[in-house]
Structure 1
Amino acid sequence: MDHRTKPAAEGRADTPGAPCPRTGDRTARRPRRPGRARRLRRTLLAALITAAVVVPVSAAARPEIPAPAPAVLAPLTASTLDQAYEANRADAAKAARMAADHGDRTRAAADRALAAPSRRLLLFDGRGTGRAVEVLGDLAHADRVAVLVPGSDTTLETYGRFRAGALALHDRLGPRGAVLAWLGYETPGTVSTTVLTPDRAEEAAPLLRAFLREVRGVVGRSAHLSLLCHSYGTVVCGRAAPGLDVSDIAVLGSPGTGAPSASALGTSARVWAARGSADWVAHVPHTSVGLFGTTVGFGTDPVSPSFGARVFRAGAAGHSDYFAPGSESLANLTRIVLGDTSEVTRA
């Protein structure tokens, strides 16, 4: 029988195991339809949501740690920096004593470290998972300033590893540079539903925008201000980006910014993106779907050509390695902060 007149029941191409009506080759199939790919992505995201719900999170049952309310300070200017540093160190010392009396030695040690005389804190809040904003360098006289925004599971207890990256960058910038470690929001837990949605980023974005306005008031109009965002922090920066008065925004190990493209971020800043070859975030579905009454996922992969960012090399960096001393990613981030953008090694 001529294949053009073969009954549909014998040769339907969308029937599993059916021969191709043109070649008879059972291994030839039509390309997977976009609708099917979307359903697969939704299924995977649903599985992630389910896992986040059913996997126990020990922090959820953790008793609230007592701490003083943050100090009420004068507006931030170059002349009020020392006052802010002193007040926040005092709050950290008080929080350390309260945590120790509460029996939480880990939090007490973290608070005590932040209360050291050498620390320069623009914000300290020991309540809940905690918030802290620290200055590394001479902010009042710096003309190259980087603000680092962390991702999930960054708390007062884990602040030290976040600060280590900020220190590594500051060491490379030299005396003209300052680094601000901005733990200014409640980060989501890696194993939680919040890490899959933009809710925490929506809450954090206005706080970051207000902070950057204060920083600009301290450093002046001529300072080169860069925003360096990691992991879930890139979602925060994506929400905060429209109209920001910064020269550069770099997203590192990003699950997506929530925007379909760099131009959709609504910023005049140069937008950079990097992902190390050992970063597991490459395997996260870069999509955004409505699921269970919320938005799950963060959209386009920032290192993809369709996003339109300036993609730079990060070497073999894993998800937590972008600020590792001696790394290619740190070298490129240093060039971005210093304004030496022509020297950045592009991917």
Structure 2
Amino acid sequence: MGQAPTHTTDPQPPTVNPPHDGHPHPATRRTRRRALLSALLTAAIVVPLAGAARPEIPAPPPAALAPLSPATLHTAYESNRANAIEAAHMAATHGDQHRAAADRALAAPSRHLLSFDGRGGGLATEVLGDLPHADHVAVLVPGSDTSIDTYARFHRAAAALYEDLTHRAPSGTRVAVVAWLGYRPPGTVSTTVTTPSRAEHAAPHLRALIRQLHTLTPAGARISLLCHSYGSVVCGRTAAGLDVDDIALVGSPGTGADSVAGLHTPARVWAARGSGDWVAHVPHVRADLLVTTVGFGTDPVSGAFGARVFDAADADHSGYFDPGSASLANLARITLGETSEVTRA
């Protein structure tokens, strides 16, 4: 369900024109609902997995790290940087110059990798800012088609948020952003993008990251989860009892829960969708099919879900973290705990 916030061209679904009075007949709505559900089920069963035939890219196993603490953080950054350099060399030797360049970018001295694994599609957790002194931390959870190969776009989103936070934060307040590519997102055209399987696998890893962040940040630091597209499915699977202050869902196809109450979270739950986002046309249904579930249920921006809906203006599916956008400003306000300043939809 869409990449991590980027500047890609998203496929636009066909426009459905309502009757002249603007209210489709109930039978028409039922027909459309069945057609959309049928398309969703078909995609989950028969659409070929994008890129399945791509040869595996060689890379070293992740660096062996001491238990992470504020005292060992710098050493971890150095070890992961060295591992990314080795991965870049192996990818170049293999003939994949694009992956080699992506690995080298992550290995730059200015980058701070909390974790890195260059194997397969790749995993990385990057820190922007000074975690051991941060009062407010935003964790970005990306959607489909995010990998080391496309990581530069995810990094731009994290960097835009970090810049907005640093300008917006009151004097003396310190902020950090954690870009978490800690799971293997599905492809937008894949057999897994309409099922929760990748999210279920990701959830324990995201839980572990949040626990880790509480050991790396000062007591009382506020942590917010900002979840884009399929990333909101991951956050939905992780939310129950999670020690975070806010969960924001943008461009979400659903969370797998029928309502905020179904997430079983003490956090404030926010949701937004821009008027230019094609995900509005995704059917918000959920159905059990053979050994899996297809679809993610209630629309998070609907009144039935019960989230705090905020303004994302005309953002498209990849535009929620665009510099200067209403959605980025509101995500920064949520991260800073400035809830009264968040503009509502």
Instruction: Normalising by structure 1, report the TM-score.
Output: 0.87
Partner of 1:233: 231
Provide the rounded CA distance (Å) in 1 between the counterparts of 2:35 and 2:290.
12
Instruction: Compute the displacement of 1:43 (Å).
Output: 4.4
Of 170, 175, 178, 2:176 maps to: 178
Range 77-86 or range 295-304, more displaced: 77-86
Provide the rounded CA distance (Å) in 2 between the counterparts of 1:42 and 1:210.
39
Seen in structure 2, the aligned counterparts of structure 1 residues 229 and 152 have a Cα distance that, compared at 3 Å, is: same
The superposition leaves residues 193-212 of structure 1 with CA deviations (integer Å, 9 ceiling, x where unpaired) of 10000000000000000010
Of 192, 200, 203, 1:202 maps to: 200
Provide the rounded CA distance (Å) in 2 between the counterparts of 1:57 and 1:258.
22
Provide the rounded CA distance (Å) in 2 between the counterparts of 1:87 and 1:260.
43
Seen in structure 2, the aligned counterparts of structure 1 residues 299 and 96 have a Cα distance that, compared at 3 Å, is: same
Partner of 2:263: 265
Partner of 1:10: none
Q: How many residues align?
A: 316
Partner of 2:303: 305
Partner of 1:48: 40
Q: How does 1:307-322 map to 2 (within 5 A)?
A: 307-322=305-320
Q: Percent identity?
A: 68
Partner of 2:75: 83
5+ residue gaps, structure 1: 1-28
2:115 is aligned with what amino acid? L
Provide the rounded CA distance (Å) in 1 between the counterparts of 2:150 and 2:337.
30
Instruction: Compute the displacement of 1:46 (Å).
Output: 3.3
Provide the rounded CA distance (Å) in 2 between the counterparts of 1:329 and 1:121.
26
Instruction: Normalising by structure 2, report the TM-score.
Output: 0.88
Seen in structure 2, the aligned counterparts of structure 1 residues 188 and 223 have a Cα distance that, compared at 3 Å, is: same
User: SS state of the match for residue 37, structure 2?
Assistant: helix
The structure with higher relative contact order (CA 8 Å, sep 6+) is: 2
1:151 is aligned with what amino acid? G
User: SS state of the match for residue 295, structure 1?
Assistant: strand
Instruction: Compute the displacement of 1:73 (Å).
Output: 1.3
Instruction: Compute the displacement of 1:292 (Å).
Output: 4.0
Partner of 1:26: none
5+ residue gaps, structure 2: 1-23, 167-172
The superposition leaves residues 295-318 of structure 1 with CA deviations (integer Å, 9 ceiling, x where unpaired) of 100000000001000000000000
Q: Is the 1:53–1:192 contact (alpha carbons within 8 Å) kept by the matching residues of 2?
A: no
- Larger Cα Rg: Structure 1 or Structure 2? 1
Instruction: Compute the displacement of 1:58 (Å).
Output: 4.9
Partner of 1:65: 57
Partner of 1:100: 92
Provide the rounded CA distance (Å) in 2 between the counterparts of 1:189 and 1:42.
24
Structure 2 residue 66 is matched with structure 1 residue 74: yes
Q: Is the 2:128–2:176 contact (alpha carbons within 8 Å) kept by the matching residues of 1?
A: yes
Q: Is the 2:157–2:321 contact (alpha carbons within 8 Å) kept by the matching residues of 1?
A: yes
Structure 2 residue 250 is matched with structure 1 residue 252: yes
Q: Is the 2:80–2:113 contact (alpha carbons within 8 Å) kept by the matching residues of 1?
A: yes
Provide the rounded CA distance (Å) in 2 between the counterparts of 1:203 and 1:57.
18
Seen in structure 2, the aligned counterparts of structure 1 residues 330 and 60 have a Cα distance that, compared at 3 Å, is: same
Seen in structure 2, the aligned counterparts of structure 1 residues 55 and 194 have a Cα distance that, compared at 3 Å, is: closer
Seen in structure 2, the aligned counterparts of structure 1 residues 51 and 259 have a Cα distance that, compared at 3 Å, is: closer
Instruction: Compute the displacement of 1:57 (Å).
Output: 4.8
